[in-house]
Structure 1
Amino acid sequence: MNNNPIVKKAIWFAWLLVVPVGIWVTFQVYPPESNISLSDVIPFLILMSVVAAMPLVVNNTPIFLIQWVSLAVFLKYGIFIEMILMQVSVLTLLVRLRIPKADAYKFPLNSLMFFIVSLASGLIFYALGGTHGEHLADEPYYILLGVVYGVSNFGINTILLVFIQAFLFKLKPPYFGKDFIWETVTTLITFPIGFVLYELSREMGAISLLFVGIPFASLSIILSLYYSSDNVNKFLQNAAEIGHQLAERLKADEVLDLFVQKLIEMLPVDYAYIMDVVDEKELRLIHKIEYGEMLEPVSAPLNKGEGISGLVWAEKKPVLFHSKKEWKHINSGYMPPRVESILSVPIVRHNQVTGVLVLAANKKRAFEKSQLMIVDILCSHFAVAVENARHHEKTKENSERCALTGLFNYRYFENMLTTEFEKLQKGERDLMSLILLDIDHFKSVNDTYGHQSGNEILCELAVRLNNRIDQIGTVARYGGEEFVILLPDMRKGNALQLAEQIRLLIANEPFTLLQAMDDEGKLLKVNITVSIGVATAPQDADDSLALIRHADRALYVGAKRAGRNRVAEYVK
């Protein structure tokens, strides 16, 4: 679509300059025969209008199956009558397609294009010695000229269309897609009907149009049904493939991104929104894409029954609107002002609506009913894939986390340490330090205050370590009262300073026991100390197990045996 106002004005100017004058000149040079009456032409006009009102839409492109009628009209009445009827047919087609006001320039553009097609193909016919009104059976040469006329008509139309796509709409090749193939095939199928119509109209008059028009209408319906069924089958195949791809994703965010991406690739979508049902109380926007760009999902939540998505949530049924007139009375104001077509589907799992998908386009009638069915199927795949991904994430998190403290566990830490050492050996990492700490006299804490209080201390210690380390490293519970901290790209000197800060953070601030009270009825506070060992790779260790072993040796030999509540480094 070309939104340049200068180009649009130029199109209108070119039409005014060429078409009215061209039609008048054509009338002067190639006037219709004097014995032609209006009653002779009107049946052809009606037939052409009916054919124009029944376009075959492929890839959102209307295919204009009018050439066979225009061939019969041209052979019988000549270039001027054919030109006038073709102009009326183009107008009928554009009205049938409900061209919006913003695209009104398409009326003069198509009128100008088909005027040129009619004029050029007619002049070629006349230049080769052709005359209209001849009996084809008497002079087979005229059949050949008729074929030349049809081929030139189709060829000139194709050349003009490519020119308009390339230079006016700035579209990139290829220009010959599925719509071009369908137009070529249907033109070849219907082209011989033009000769039949011409000969029958000479012998039988207007009644011949019924004998030809009814079979054509049937053919047009059959072709439309065939294309629709073929299109639905391909959509279903795509839906199945997308369903498999969604099922392969193990992260909910990846499932969400892939789902929306595939929908945008498959359908003419300008806006895509996914709303999440929160606590069965409101719809909250969680994913927002406009013109292919992901935006921050900022929008006021909607209640059940509010707006289009709220209506879909309440009724658990998908909706399809072809234009703004159909939905503007229920819109709550969150739709962009240019939206015309809307397709919205509930995302249902276990008979409960868990979210709502909203797809919108600026073009009227952008979505078809068959596409609504396909999106509904995809939403079912999406709901299952998201649930599976979330279950996998939860299971993975539970297997990697300590159930008590929420820190990473021993298994996760060892795998991560192995991965980091591989980076070290490949040169992707220069060095890494490891801090191993152990609570001093923790057994006496459990014996004195109970295991529940001991667990409280472990949990509070995990919070302090996490807050202090933040993004510079990874904290894990190594076992019992032992904790480990991995610090990628941190030198031993910096690691020792950090370890001393951690020791003071623990020793200088008492731990509160929520399950124990002192003699005055206040929550009991307990002072805890830790002993810490530090080792660094590659200077202290060549593999992951050696790094842990040497940090442990520094902890027990350099800190525990030296009196506890201190930091020690590994020394070879």
Structure 2
Amino acid sequence: MKKEVKAFFWIAWLITLPTVLFYTYQHYPPTIEYGWNLMVFFSLGIIVSMFPITIQGRDFFIIQWLSFGAFLLYDLYIEILVVQASIFGLLLIRRIPRKEAHRYPINSLMFLIVSFLSGLSFYAVGGVTGPQPIQHLIIPTIVYMASNMIVSQLFLLLYAKLSKVQMPVFGRDFLWEAVGSLFFYPFAITTFYLHIAIGPWAIVLLGIPILLAVGLLQIYNTTEKVNDYLQQAVEIGHELTGKLKASEVLDLFIQKVSATLEVDYAYLLDVIDDKEQLEILRQTEKGQLYKTKIEPLKKNQGISGTVWASQKSVLYHQRSDWETLAEGYMPSDIESVICVPIIRNNQVVAVLFLGSIRKRAFEKFQLMTVDILCSYFAVAIENARNHEKTKRESEHCALTGLYNYRYFEKSLSYAFHSVVMKKEQPLSLIMIDLDHFKQVNDSYGHQSGNQILKEVGERLTQMFHHLGTVARFGGEEFVVYLPSFNKKEALEIAEQFREELATTPFKLYTDLSEVRKELSVFVTASIGVATAPFDADDALTLIRHADRALYTGAKQAGRNRVAGYVK
């Protein structure tokens, strides 16, 4: 909320509250003497306000049965005081942080205006307070109840507009408010007449069953919240296990946890075993993904390091609970903290840190939910990494790290279709075969030969990785396809590579002599080039024609040269 809006509510409250209290005291003073009767109303009002009914994330106060009873007995001035005392009592008990201090004037102002205008509506239709036949109360009570709901809704709509928050004119909240009014206003009238008959004990006799009913509703509501969180955890778990990339699992996990618990800060830290430290994997702050460089933590260092060492989750309700433990990076406005170890095979593999700027933002069942989510995450990330490892091994050459022929063939077919068929652009294929490579193996050993193959792969990657796709075709053969390269461009870049390969020696150690010696070995290559759609109508034909150019145009012509396919 903007500072201007907060200032508006503070000013409006400071002007309206004393004005309304003075006016109501002058025109509608209490009809009986003050005494312990009023103390019962005030005390019970504060107690009742401590037990709101939460429905779909919104708190509904059940103060109406008590406040309207006070209005009928003591008039408008006392009713306003009872409601204001209840609201301030509730906000104080909930320990509203200083940053949210504007909630005091906003809530006070809303209930003040609602009480005042509802009371005036009651008087306007001929309603009077004090003992009277019940039939005289029916129409004024209906008007009072309707005014109460309408004025409250109008105030909330004004607040939403100033806060730039979307809110329906008559949504579910209004419906629940109406249902609650139909339930509690009859209790208020009962309290009024029973109080006339037996005195303040009427409030106690009616208050006890109402508070017990509300308590049961709160227990039920808490159970529903737990079930809802567990259901969300199961759904998130299914989403996580459906991801096959580790990066997708990490992003989804941190986003879902942040949204589910409505946290302001979330940090996922990875356990680096060889360094014995925690390093940041993902972080969100105020709903945004960040890549801030955060210093690693050692075991037993800070909250996360302590959780790593103890393998136990922690829940802190306010800054003073954990301030002495904090080390390293920590946002200055965090209050509530949840920190959970992510365990796999009895080992901590990561730590999740969640923070909120609100005190007592988290409950114990939410800690249980995070534990469950972390278990799902541990399984999902391991499965994703295993899948990526298996996929990489099936698509890459173990020696050079380049793509293998199996992957290359599929990739080339897809590229041929998308580049040549759809975009109608050229696609060039370069096939490379190392010259006399058997002699290298026979002279220097297969280990040295493997080292050359590996380095050739590195040189190819360095030159072509940003231009196309490089693969090991088999044995000492390599292949590269270059989208959008015509034959002239492909021949030129192939010649650059051939020259670089022929003039840059490989540093080897001989494995066949008794004494290992460092050697400088020169290796050349014969290269064939073919370009679609001019040289081939499909991917396999393109490979075959590049291979033909290599052997007829380069190998048979003396090796160490580049040749293009000729029909």
Does the pair score TM above 0.5?
yes
Partners of 1:152 and 1:174 in 2: how far apart? 19
CA shift, 1:513, in A, is 3.1
Is the contact between residue 420 and residue 533 of structure 2 (CA under 8 Å) also seen in structure 1?
no
Match of 2:298 in 1: 303
> Is contact 1:276–1:284 with CA below 8 Å preserved after alignment?
yes
Q: Which amino acid aligns with 1:64?
A: F
Partner of 1:130: 127
Q: Any conservation in 2 of the 1:517–1:524 contact (CA below 8 Å)?
A: no
Which of 236, 247, 252 is 1:253 aligned to? Answer: 247
Change (3 A) 1:119 1:414: same
Determine if contact 2:91/2:104 at 8 Å carries over to the other structure.
yes
Q: Would you say 1:213 and 2:211 are equivalent positions?
A: no
Give the alignment of 1:322-333 within 5 angstroms: 322-333=317-328
2:54 is the alignment partner of 1:70 = no
Other-structure match for 1:348:
343
Whether the 8 Å contact between 1:344 and 1:359 is mirrored in structure 2 is yes
Q: Structure 1 residue aligned with 2:228, among 234, 253, 262?
A: 234
Q: 2:349 is paired with a residue of what secondary structure?
A: strand
Distance 2:170 2:301 in 1: 44
- Please point out which of 14, 17, 22 is paired with 2:15: 17
TM-score (norm 2): 0.95
User: 8 Å contact 1:71–1:150 — kept in the other structure?
Assistant: no
Residue of structure 2 in register with 1:108 after alignment: 105
Which shifted more, 422-431 or 41-50? 422-431
- Which residue, 558, 563, 566 being the options, matches 2:553? 558
Show the counterpart of 1:36.
Answer: 33
Q: CA deviation at 1:371?
A: 1.7
Letter in 2 for 1:23: L
- 1:93 maps to 90
Structure 1 counterpart of 2:537, which letter? D
Aligned-partner Cα distance in 2 for 1:257–1:373: 21
| Post-superposition offset of 1:316 | 1.5
Moved more, 344-353 or 443-452: 443-452
Cα offset for 1:363?
2.0
Separation in 1, partners of 2:501, 2:143: 95
- Which amino acid in 2 is paired with 1:241? E
Cα deviation, residue 59, structure 1: 5.8
- 1:531 and 2:526 matched: yes
Say if 2:434 is the partner of 1:439: yes
Give 1:49's aligned amino acid: I
Q: Compared with structure 1, are the counterparts of its residues 338 and 520 closer, same or farther at alpha carbon in structure 2 (3 Å cutoff)?
A: closer
SS in 1 for 2:200: helix
SS in 1 for 2:282: strand
User: Counterpart in 2 of 1:450?
Assistant: 445
Partner of 2:539: 544
Give the secondary structure class of the aligned counterpart of 1:114: helix
Deviates further, 534-543 or 264-273: 264-273
In structure 2, the CA distance between the partners of 1:212 and 1:429, relative to structure 1 (3 Å rule), is farther
Q: Is the 8 A contact 2:427 2:486 kept in 1?
A: yes
Q: C-alpha separation between the residues in 2 aligned to 1:99 and 1:58?
A: 21
**Between 246-255 and 210-219, the greater mean CA deviation after superposition:** 210-219
8 A Cα contact 1:434 1:487, kept in partner: yes
Q: How does 1:256-275 map to 2 (within 5 A)?
A: 256-275=250-269
* 1:507 and 2:502 correspond: yes
2:331 match: secondary structure: coil
Q: Which moved more, 1:413-422 or 1:443-452?
A: 443-452
Partner of 1:191: 185
2: CA distance between counterparts of 1:481 and 1:543? 25
Q: Given residue 259 of structure 1, which amino acid in structure 2 is its aligned partner?
A: F
1:366-405 → structure 2 map (5 Å cutoff): 366-405=361-400
- Give the aligned partner of residue 157 of structure 2: 162
SS in 2 for 1:229: helix
- Alpha-carbon offset, residue 180 of structure 1: 5.2
Q: Where does residue 218 of structure 2 map in the other structure?
A: 224
CA distance in 2, matches of 1:389, 1:92: 51
Structure 1 unaligned residues grouped into runs of 5+: none
1:71–1:146 contact (8 Å) kept in structure 2: no
Q: Hey, what's the Cα distance between the residues in 2 that align with 1:349 and 1:515? A: 45
How big is the shift at 1:60? 5.6
Distance, in Å, in 1 between the alignment partners of 2:236 and 2:515 is: 66
Partner of 1:516, secondary structure, is coil
Shift of 1:514: 2.4
Contact 2:529 2:563 (8 Å CA) reproduced: yes
Deviations 1:187-210 (A, max 9, x none): 433332212222221111122222
Deviation at 1:97, TM superposition (A): 2.0
**2:424 & 2:312 partners in 1: Cα distance?**
54
Distance 1:159 1:104, change over 3 A: same
Question: Quick one: structure 1 residues 460 and 31, their matched pair in 2 at CA, closer, same or farther if it must change by over 3 Å?
Answer: closer
TM-score for the superposition, normalised by structure 1:
0.94
Q: 1:276 aligns with which of 247, 258, 270?
A: 270
Residues 404 and 471 of structure 2 are in contact (CA less than 8 Å); yes or no, is this contact kept in structure 1?
yes
SS state at 2:137 partner: helix
Alpha-carbon deviation of 1:8?
3.3
The structural deviation recorded for 1:379 is 0.9
User: Aligned equivalents of 2:148 and 2:314: distance in 1?
Assistant: 42
User: Would the alpha carbon gap of residues 520 and 348 (structure 1) be closer, same or farther in structure 2, given more than 3 Å must change?
Assistant: closer
SS in 2 for 1:532: strand
Amino acid at match of 2:109: L
Q: Residues 439-466 of structure 1, C-alpha deviation per residue, up to 9 Å, x if partnerless?
A: 2222233333333332222222222222
Classify the secondary structure of the residue corresponding to 2:255: helix
Following superposition of structure 1 onto structure 2, how do residues 410-449 of structure 1 map, counting pairs within 5 Å? 410-428=405-423, 430-449=425-444
The residue identity in structure 1 corresponding to 2:425 is D
Alpha-carbon distance in structure 1 between the residues aligned to 2:129 and 2:91: 29
C-alpha contact 1:67 1:150 (8 A) present in aligned 2? no
Q: Is the 8 A contact 1:11 1:109 kept in 2?
A: yes
Identity %: 48
Aligned to 2:462: 467
CA distance, structure 2, for counterparts of residue 171 and residue 27 of structure 1: 36
CA distance in 1, matches of 2:261, 2:519: 64
Distance 2:514 2:71 in 1: 112
For 1:347-387, what per-residue CA distance to the aligned partner results, in whole angstroms no more than 9, with x for missing partners? Answer: 11111111111121222222222222111111111111000
Counterpart-to-counterpart distance in 1, 2:17 and 2:83: 12
SS at match of 2:447: helix
Question: Is 1:268–1:367's contact at 8 Å kept on the other side of the alignment?
Answer: no
Contact 1:496 1:534 in 2 (8 A): yes
Q: Match of 1:229, as an amino acid?
A: T
CA contact (8 A) 1:319 1:343 kept: yes
Counterpart check, 1:312 vs 2:298: no
Choose 311-320 or 142-151, whichever is displaced more: 142-151
Aligned counterparts of 1:381 and 1:180: Cα–Cα separation in 2:
38
Distance (Å, rounded) in 2 between the aligned partners of 1:426 and 1:199: 88
> Using a 3 Å threshold, how does the CA distance of structure 1 residues 319 and 263 change in structure 2: closer, same or farther?
same
* 1:246–1:382 CA contact under 8 A, matched in 2: yes
Task: Give the direction of change, closer, same or farther, for the CA distance of 1:176–1:293 in structure 2 (3 Å limit).
Answer: farther
* Alpha-carbon contact 1:58-1:178 (below 8 Å) kept: no
Aligned length: 566
